[in-house]
Structure 1
C-alpha cells in the first residue's frame, strides 16, 4: 500500500488538473470560428433557410439557437462525443468528406483543435456567466503610410471579467476602398495607392476600424498652404486634411460664382439681374457676409427648407388625407419660419398628442403606424443610421443587436390613435399598457433608447416617447448631432461628411472626422440653431472655393479642395426655368395616388419648392429625380444625370413651351426697346448670373441684330435655349 501512494497522488493530481481545465467557450471561441470562416455568413449556413438542412444565425447572433442546431438538430448526428475527430461537423470543415462549402481550415490548426476540445468536453452550450465582450481595438486606428507598404494589424478584445485577448486570428476583415488598401484574412493590410480608405475588423458583434491615409506622391507645397487664411474651424480642419493627403486647394470663387451658388444652395432660386448687378458692383469687403445674412432671412428660405424637411418627414397626400397633409406641412413651415432649434422641433414631433389637424406633427405617427416602423424611421431620420437589419438578427455592419432593436421599438408600442370629431381628424394619445413581443424570445424587451444605460420601467404609465425625446435630443447624443450636421453639410456641398448621408455607422467613417466632431460641437454651442450652422458653412473659405480644379485635386470629391459641381435638384431646376422665362408652372394633383380632395391643381404661381405634397403629375419632376416620400431615405432623390433628362432638355415640352409662351420674359425684353447688347447681357444675368464675355457678347449680339424682324423672337428663343441647356445653367458650380 505504501508503494502505491505516489502513483495514486499522481493520478489524483492529473485528474484534478484535467477537471480544472476550462473547455473552449461556445459563445466566445466556437462562434467566432464559425463567423471568421464564413460558416455563419449569409452565403452559407447563415442564410435565412440555411444550407443543406443546416442553419446558423447570421454572424452568430443567436448563441443558444446555434448551439441547439449544432448539437441537437438532425438527431445530433453532426457531433461524435466519444471520438470528436469523427464528427461530421469537423469532417466537412476540413473536407474529409464532400462539402459544398469547400475546406474551411486545416487538420490540427488552432481552429480544429479548439473545436475538438469543445466536443471532447461534451460540447457545452453558452452559459449565463460567460464573459461578454465589452470593447474591440486595433493596433493602428489611424495609419498614415505610403503605397507599396504592408502593415499587420493586431486586434485586442476586452471582456467583462477584465481579461483581454489577442483575437487577430479570429476576426473577419473588410476593406472599403481597394484602390487605397486591401486586407487579407489574417489582417495584413497592403497599401495599393494614394487616397483614404478604411479597414474594419469584426469580432463577436463588435467592430473596430483602421483609417488608412496615403498622401499623394510629390513634394508638398508648404508655402502655398501657409498662404491660405482659414476663416473658421471648417477651414482649419479641411486644410489639415488636405495637407495630410498632399492635395492643394483651388482658389477662391469669383463673386458671380459665389452669388449664384449661395442663392441656389440656400433658398433655391436665382438672383435677379438687379440683385446680381448690385452685388457685383459692391466693393465692400464684407459684402459676402451681408449677402449670407440676407439669404437666411428671405421668405424663399422658408419655402426651400420646408420642402427639404417635408422630404425627410414624408409629407405625402397619398398617405394622408388633404387636411392632415396640409396640417403636417404647415407645422413644418411654422418651425422653419420661427427658426425653431432642431432639438426642440424633433421633440415637438416625437411627443405630439391630440388632434392631428391641430398638431400637424402628430401625423408622423399616422404615417408610421406600427412600433417597428416608428423605430426604423426615427433611427434613419434623426440618428442617420438604419437599424432595420437588427429586426431579424444582430446588425452585420453595426453594433445594434436584435435585443436593442426590440427594446427601442417597444418605446412606441403604446402610441394609439382614435377618430376625431372631424372627417379627416385622428386623435393621438399614449396608452398605459401594451408591449411589443420579440418573435425570437416570445417576450417583450424592456423599452430602452438605443444607447441608453437604463431601460424604462415596464410598469410605468408615463408616455415612453418623453424618455425617447429626452435621450434623443440630449446634448450628449452624438448620433443625433451628427445626423443633422451631415444633412445640412450635404445640402451645401453635394455630399455629406459621411456618404451616404443617412448611413452613419462605424464601418462608414467621415471624410474628416475632426471636422465632423467640431461641427457637432459648434451646433450644440449654438443650441441647435441650424441657421447658425448654415452661416458658418457659407462663410467658410472651403465653401467659397472655386469649382475649377487643379491637376493635383481633380480626383478629390470629398475633402474640400474645390467646390464639386452638381446638377440642380428637380424642383429647383423647374423653378429656375420658370423664373428665367417668367412663365409659371401649373401643378396638377396626381389623382391616381392622392387621397380625395376638391381641387385638381394648385393655384397659378405656386413654385415647385412651395408644394406641400409629392403627388404632383409632373414628368419633369419625375424625370429629374424628385423624392416620392415613401421611405425616409436620401436614396429616394437622385441628382444623377440621365438620358431621359438630356432628351427632355433638348426637345421636351417644359423648356420649349415656356420659351414659346406669349407675354413671357422674351416678349418683355423685345418690347423694352433696349439695345440688342443690353438684351444679351440681361439674358446672361438671368440664366448664368454673370455678364457675357466679350466674345459671347459679340457673337450673340450679331445673331440678334442681323435677324429679320419676324425672326428676332425665334432667335432670342434659341439664345435662351442654348444658355438654359448648358451645364453652366443646369449645374450649381
Structure 2
C-alpha cells in the first residue's frame, strides 16, 4: 500500500514534466546533495565514500559525481523507467534501510526535483549550463536585540541573467553562538550581545550576514563624548563601540604606555635612565617623540627581522649555515632600509641566482615544490589558506580545485642547480614544464587567484613576475589585508580578523570599516609599514588603559581597552636577561655551524637577534616559540602550561641569572644606596614604574631585617617576586 501511494504521488508530481524545465544536475541536483549532507565529509563526500558510493566533497566535481551516480555499480542507483523505484530516492527517504537516515520527505521539493531529473533521463552537466556569478543574503548587516528571530533569504544570480531564491538549498553556519544561531533553513535566533555572523554557502559561493546586538547596559553618553579621536583608528573604533554600546576605558598612564610601547615595537624594556627621563617629562608631545625614536632604534631592526624570519621560515635545520645567514641578512637589510612591503615581497618572489648572494632565493629552496610554494605564498602574503582546494573545492572559502592548480602552476618552472661553491644552489626560471592537475590529468592554465585571463602556456616569461605584479598590486585587497592584520595583531594582541592568517569570507573582521580604511592608509603611504605602525601607536585606541570597566570587561575584539597578553618567549627571556644584567649564552647546533666558527653566538646576543630558530633552549620551547617548520601563526603559542609555571617558580633560567656573580643585583648592593632607592630601582627596571608607599615599606623592611650575609639572597627574592608577577610576565 505504501509503495502504491508512493508511485501515485510520483505520477502526480511528474505530470507537468514536459511543461517544466528539466532540473540541471549542476545547478539543482548538486546543491541538494550538499545541503542534505550526502556530499559532505561525514557521508559519501569522504575521500573513500561510504557504502561503496563516493561523491566529491560539496559537489566540486560535477562530471565525476554524475558518473558515480548514473554509471557506477552498474547503474543500479537509478531506475529511469520508474524513478520511484530508484535506490537513489528510496535510500534518501528511508523507504529502504539507509545508514545515513532519512534525508528528506517523499513529498518534498527535493524529492520532486530529483525524480524529475531521473524521469528526464538523468542528464549530466553541460558545458553551456548557466554558472552562478553571485550570492546575496537579505540581511547583510543586521542590527537587532537579543531574543529576536530573523529569516534570511538567499538569492543566487546566474550567468544567463536569472535570479533564484535558493534559501532552502543553502548550507548555513553561525560563527559566534553566544550572539546568534541559525537553523538549516536560514532562521537566525539571537542569543546575546556582541557581534557575530552567519555564512550562507551555495554552489561554491559564499555570502555573509553580520549580526550586531548592542550591550543592554545603560551607558552614559558622556563616556564616548569625552574622548577626542587622534586619527581614523580612534574615529572608527569609537563608532563601533557606540554601535555595540560598549564604553571605552580611560587613557593608560605614562609608565604603562612606556613599557607597552617598548615591548610591542622593539621587544625590550626601557632602561632605568629612559624610564626616569620619560616619567619626568611634562611636555605634551612626549609620547609622539618616544614613538618616533623607537621606530629608528637598532632594536627595531632586530625585532622585526625576527618577526619576518618567523613568517618566512628562516631555519638552520632546513638550510645550510651560509644560506641561512644569507636569507636572514636579506630580511635584515630590507627592514633596516624600511623597504616598502610590496617591494620586499616582489624582490622575494622574483628572486633568482645564488642562495649565498641573493638570500631571498632560499624561500624557494625551502618551498621546493609548486603546490608547497602556492600554499606558503597564500598564507604568508594573502593571509588565507588554499590547501583544502588541493583535493576539492574549499569548503569554507571560494577557492576551487581548478584555481588551486592554476595558481600552483605559476611555480612549476622554478628550478635549482648546483653552484660553484660548496653548499651553493642557483635558482633560475625554466622555459618549459607544467604541473598536472590530478582531477583532469592535464596542466591547468597558470594564473593568479581570482584572475580570469591565464598566462599563455607557450610563454617563456618567468611566471613569477606576473604573480608578483598581481600580488603586490594596489588593487589586491587580500595582500593589503594580510599585512595590515599581522601588524595590527602585533600591537593589539589579536588581529582585526582572528586567526591572523585566516582571512576567509566566512571569518568576519571585528571592524570591517576600520580594516578597509587601514588598508587604504597603507596604500596611500606606499606600503610603508612604519607609517602604519606610527598611526597605530599614536592612536588613543592603542594608548587606552588595560584596566576594564564593568561594561567592557568581556570585550576582547573592539578596542574598548588594551588586552593584556603574556610576553612572547624570546622577549621574556631577553627581558629577564636585561633586568638581571646576566646575558644568555646561545649554543650553535654543531650540524649547522661552519667549520672553524665558535660553538656559541657572541656573549650578549639576545634571543630576538638570533637568525635561526634551531637553537637548543628549553625555556624558549616551553614558552611557545615558533619552530619555523610551517607558515602558520599557530606555530607560536601563548597558551599557559605547567612547564612555564615551574620555570618561573623555580626554573634554572631565572635562578641562575639572579644568582650570577657581578650581575645587576651585585651592582645595586655595591652602590651603597639607601634601601628605599634600591627597591625603587628594582621596580623601575622590572615593572617600569615607581613602587607604591606600601610596596616600598614591605620591601625595605625585608632588606633592613636581613643579616648582612643574607642581603643578597633577600634582594634575589625581591627580584624573583617582581619577575614572577603578572605585571612583569604580561604586556598590559
What range describes the TM-score normalised by the shorter chain of this pair? over 0.9
Cα-to-partner distance string for 1:234-289 (whole Å, 9 max, x where unaligned): 00110011111111010000000000000000000000110000000000000000
Indicate conservation of the 8 Å contact 1:331/1:359, yes or no.
yes
Once the two structures are TM-superposed, the CA of residue 640 in structure 1 deviates from its matched residue by 1.6
Q: State how far apart, in whole Å, the 2-side matches of 1:327 and 1:419 are.
A: 17
In structure 2, the residue matched to 1:361 is: 360
Q: What's the counterpart of residue 8 of structure 1?
A: none
1:695 aligns with 2:694: yes
2:297 equivalent to 1:318: no
Please give the alpha-carbon distance, in whole angstroms, between the structure 2 residues aligned to 1:258 and 1:225.
21
- Report deviation, 1:221: 2.1
8 Å contact from structure 2 (residues 17, 116) kept in 1: no
Mean Cα deviation higher: 330-339 or 448-457: 448-457
**Whole-Å Cα distance in 1 between the matches of residues 218 and 318 of structure 2?**
58
Paired residue for 1:446? 445
The whole-number CA distance in structure 1 between the counterparts of 2:523 and 2:442 is 38
Matches within 5 A, 1:21-420: 21-420=20-419
1:722 and 2:725 are equivalent in the alignment:
no
CA displacement, residues 481-521 of structure 1 (integer Å, 9 cap, x when unaligned)? 00000000000000000000000010001000000000000
Identify the residue that residue 548 of structure 2 maps to in structure 1.
549
Distance, in Å, in 1 between the alignment partners of 2:220 and 2:144 is: 19
How far apart are residue 19 of structure 1 and its match? 5.3
Task: Confirm whether residue 433 of structure 1 aligns to residue 428 of structure 2.
Answer: no
Cα distance in structure 1, aligned partners of 2:702 and 2:117: 88
Change beyond 3 A, Cα 1:195–1:18: closer
Are the aligned partners of 2:223 and 2:248 in contact in 1 as well (CA < 8 Å)?
Answer: no
* Gapped regions of structure 2 (runs ≥ 5): 1-14
1:323–1:357: 8 Å Cα contact kept in structure 2? yes
Matched residue SS, 2:647: helix
Q: In structure 2, the residue corresponding to 1:202 is in which secondary structure?
A: strand
Give the 3-state SS of the residue equivalent to 2:676 in structure 1.
helix
User: Could you tell me whether the CA contact under 8 Å between 1:241 and 1:512 is conserved in 2?
Assistant: yes
- Which digits, 9 at most, give the CA deviation of each residue in 1:613-632, with x for residues without a partner? 00101000000000000000
Query: Aligned partners of 1:518 and 1:184: how far apart in 2?
Result: 34
Partner SS for 2:415: strand
Q: CA separation of 1:584/1:134 partners in 2, compared to 1, >3 Å: closer, same or farther? A: same
Shift of 1:600: 2.4
Q: TM-score, normalised by structure 2?
A: 0.97
> Over residues 78-102 of structure 1, what are the superposed CA-to-partner deviations in whole Å (9 max), with x where a residue is unaligned?
0000000100000000000000000
Deviation at 1:219, TM superposition (A): 3.0
Quick check: 1:675 aligned with 2:674? Answer: yes
Q: Aligned partners of 1:187, 1:20: CA distance in 2, in Å?
A: 31
- Deviations 1:7-54 (Å, cap 9, x if unpaired)? xxxxxxxxx996574210000000000000000000000000000000
* Superposition deviation, residue 603 in structure 1: 1.4
SS of residue paired to 1:210: strand
Shift of 1:476: 0.2
- Provide the C-alpha distance between the structure 1 equivalents of 2:198 and 2:212, rounded to a whole number of angstroms: 11
Structure-1 separation of matches of 2:593 and 2:613: 12
Q: What is the CA–CA distance in structure 2 between the aligned matches of 1:618 and 1:245, rounded to whole Å? A: 45
User: How far 1:596 sits from its partner (Å)?
Assistant: 6.5
* C-alpha distance in structure 2 between counterparts of 1:681 and 1:523, whole Å: 42
Matched, 1:582 2:576: no
- Aligned to 2:295, the other structure's residue is in SS state helix
1:568 maps onto 2:562 in alignment: no
Report the Cα distance in structure 2 between the residues aligned to 1:94 and 1:568, rounded to whole angstroms.
57
Residues 554-602 of structure 1 show CA distances to partners (whole Å, capped at 9, x for unaligned) of: 00001000000000000000000000000000001244x7477554221
Cα-Cα RMSD:
1.2
SS of the residue corresponding to residue 89 of structure 1 reads: helix
- Cα distance in structure 2, aligned partners of 1:730 and 1:460: 56
**Which residue does the alignment assign to 2:487?**
488
Q: How does 1:448-527 map to 2 (within 5 A)?
A: 448-527=447-526
**Which digits, 9 at most, give the CA deviation of each residue in 1:47-83, with x for residues without a partner?**
0000000000000000000000000000000000000
Separation in structure 2 between the aligned mates of residue 55 and residue 221 of structure 1, nearest angstrom: 60
Q: Name the SS of the counterpart of 1:437 in structure 2.
A: coil
* Alpha-carbon distance in structure 2 between the residues aligned to 1:18 and 1:98: 29
Deviations 1:670-721 (A, max 9, x none): 0011111111100000100000001101111111122111010000000000
User: d(CA) in 1 for partners of 2:143 and 2:641?
Assistant: 39
Distance in 1, Cα, partners of 2:589 & 2:234: 46
Q: Secondary structure at the match of 1:475?
A: coil
For the residues of structure 1 that align with 2:221 and 2:567, how far apart are their CA atoms? 36
Residue number in structure 2 paired with 1:4? none
Alignment partner of 1:293: what SS?
Answer: helix
Contact 2:253 2:545 in 1 (8 A): yes
Q: What is the SS of the residue equivalent to 1:114? A: helix
State how far apart, in whole Å, the 2-side matches of 1:24 and 1:221 are.
Answer: 58
**Aligned partners of 1:318 and 1:595 also within 8 Å:** no
For residues 373 and 501 of structure 1, the distance between their equivalents in structure 2, rounded to whole angstroms, comes to 20
Q: Is the 8 A contact 2:313 2:629 kept in 1?
A: yes
Structure-1-length-normalised TM-score = 0.97
- Residue 227 of structure 1, CA deviation: 1.4
Give the secondary-structure state (helix, strand or coil) at the position aligned to 1:297: coil
Paired residue secondary structure (1:438): coil
Helix, strand or coil: the match of 1:235? helix
Deviation at 1:605, TM superposition (A): 1.0
* 1:317–1:595 CA contact under 8 A, matched in 2: no
Report the Cα distance in structure 1 between the residues aligned to 2:511 and 2:16, rounded to whole angstroms. Answer: 54
1-structure distance, mates of 2:560, 2:727: 20
Change over 3 Å in CA distance of 1:340–1:192 after alignment to 2: same
Post-superposition offset of 1:469 = 0.2
In the alignment, the residues of structure 2 paired with residue 20 and residue 393 of structure 1 have an alpha-carbon distance, to the nearest angstrom, of 36
Q: Is the 8 A contact 2:593 2:599 kept in 1?
A: no
Between the aligned partners of 1:118 and 1:19, the Cα distance in structure 2 is 12
Q: In 2, are the aligned partners of 1:324 and 1:425 still within 8 Å (CA)?
A: yes
Deviations 1:345-369, CA, capped at 9 Å, x for gaps: 0000000011111100010000000
